[in-house]
Amino acid sequence: MNYVDVWGGVLSSLRKTLPSHALSAWFEPVDPIGFSGDKILLEVPNQFFAEWIESHYDKELRAALRSNSDKGTNYRFIISDKEPTPLNPPESNTGLTTAPLHKNNINKQYRFENFIEGSNNEFAKNAAISVANNPGKNGFNPLIIYGGVGLGKTHLMHAIGNEAIHKNPDLNVVIITSEKFTLDFVNSLRKNKTIEFAQQYRKADILLIDDIQFFRGKEQTQEQFFHTFNVLYQSGKQIVMTADKYPGEMKGLQTRLLSRFQSGLSVDIQPPNFEVRVAILLEKAEQNGLSLDYDVVEFIARHIKENVRDLEGTIIRILAKSSLMNIEIDHDLVRQVVQERTGGRLNNDISMEDIIKQVSISSSVPEKEIVGSSRKMEISKARQISMYLCREIMGASLNNIGMYFGGRDHTTVMHAVKCIKEKNEKEEEIKTFIMSVKQDLGYAFS
């Protein structure tokens, strides 16, 4: 079965298990665009669609795929970059000159101006700006932007296209994913139109191609891309690619392709640090008209660390839950969403050392005294609070806590935990101190 037939069968199966409003709202706008290995590629209007289907209908979707496809139950969402068609296109006899229509899928929202810069991506952004200003003329050809999922590679690639067209509207900018390139090539083989396919891409002034790692194992596609690359490169046209790894570490690609890739400039993007994550969250919240307290933003930034897409998805999920469930955005809601996105666990990277260090800072008691043997009241209090937090936040065993605190017996730790727990419920000073330490550790709202 082809992908269109498979998706038709999936919709028929979903009609039997889902209410009609769910089907029309979330599945009818989805367009199947092909297969990639054992995955069906599904184009959705935006990231919110992908988030919502994955979190609410993953089980039903996989069951429907199992019933209708022999390729497995895997799926992959492709976010649509299609610009909405204007309701009132300009008349041709107005006498006004207009820029040529660029037939590509450049996302107008991805610009250099709204790309949050930090030490993790500064070099990559500067290289991208240089290419956009002087495509094919600065020696950065090809430019390969590589790094993990959701770090902003695609944003920079689209920003190059937007900036280049802004400076020169006559440029023919072609932007595509490697999967779409493969599908177009396969279709051209089926319809005996490989010459038209080649011409379509070789007329580009700037070719922007996303996720080149998906060329792995596709020999004919690699062959076609190799010749396209050569034609563009020898004509002084700019080529920009994104990848998950440095070209020298890629496997499954032809040696001569990798050699071409390494002849240009490769720049990496690392996961954003804490300050950059905060800036991204503030920007995304503002874009979505969402007002969040700064301590809420810090809380999210301390727990959602891996990539920008997860940060954006968290903001979207908070907004969606608030509006669709008609509830206020408060600390409980934010904590719930963050726990969902981190697999139900928070602060799994906090160590006993981190806790002791923070208690030391907040109480002005040296760390070595907290784990030492002194029985002075202020030191003993800081030690008991540290033991209590190690137990509550980390879930560490009494024995492990005792060993870390100078080889103390587990009964000593048990007494400390019980003592501080009672004081935390009755004494405002202790309660405030513990909450302050938790906030500094990124464990607020508990």
**88 pLDDT exceeds 50?**
no
Query: What is the torsion angle, in degrees rounded to the nearest 10, for the CA atoms of residue 136, residue 142, residue 147 and residue 152?
Result: 20
Q: What pTM was computed for the model?
A: 0.59
pLDDT at 387: 94
pLDDT at 286: 83
Mean pLDDT of 396-413: 87
- Banded model confidence at residue 365, pLDDT cuts 50, 70, 90: very high
3-state helix, strand, coil in the chain (%, to 5): 55, 10, 35
- Banded model confidence at residue 444, pLDDT cuts 50, 70, 90: low
Which tens digit of pLDDT belongs to each residue from 258-279? 888 888 899 999 888 878 888 8
**One-character DSSP codes across 304-363:** --S-HHHHHHHHHHHHHHHHHTT----HHHHHHHHHHHTTT---TT--HHHHHHHHHHHH
pLDDT at 91: 38
Mean pLDDT of 291-317: 81
What whole-number distance in Å separates Cα of residue 166 and Cα of residue 224?
A: 30
**177 pLDDT exceeds 50?**
yes
Q: Which residue has the higher pLDDT, 289 or 111?
A: 111
Mean pLDDT of 141-157: 90
**233 pLDDT exceeds 60?**
yes
Q: Which residue has the higher pLDDT, 306 or 446?
A: 306
pLDDT at 90: 38
- Banded model confidence at residue 283, pLDDT cuts 50, 70, 90: confident
- Banded model confidence at residue 359, pLDDT cuts 50, 70, 90: very high
pLDDT at 81: 61
**DSSP summary character for residue 83:** P
Lowest-pLDDT range of 77-91, 178-192, 228-242, 427-441:
77-91
Mean pLDDT of 18-29: 80
Residue type, 71: K
**54 pLDDT exceeds 70?**
yes
**66 pLDDT exceeds 80?**
yes
**92 pLDDT exceeds 60?**
no
What percent of the chain is modeled with pLDDT above 90? Answer: 27
**101 pLDDT exceeds 60?**
no
Mean pLDDT of 326-347: 76
In whole numbers, what is the pLDDT of the chain averaged over residues?
Answer: 83
What whole-number distance in Å separates Cα of residue 2 and Cα of residue 55?
A: 27
pLDDT at 131: 94
Question: What six digits make up the tokens of 210?
Answer: 């996303």
**191 pLDDT exceeds 50?**
yes
**229 pLDDT exceeds 50?**
yes
pLDDT at 341: 77
3-state SS, residue 176: strand
> Does residue 407 come out as left (phi exceeding 0), alpha (psi in the -120 to 50 range) or beta?
left
Mean pLDDT of 351-355: 87
**96 pLDDT exceeds 60?**
no
Phi first, then psi, for residue 33 (nearest 5°) are -125, 0
Q: Which residue has the higher pLDDT, 189 or 382?
A: 382
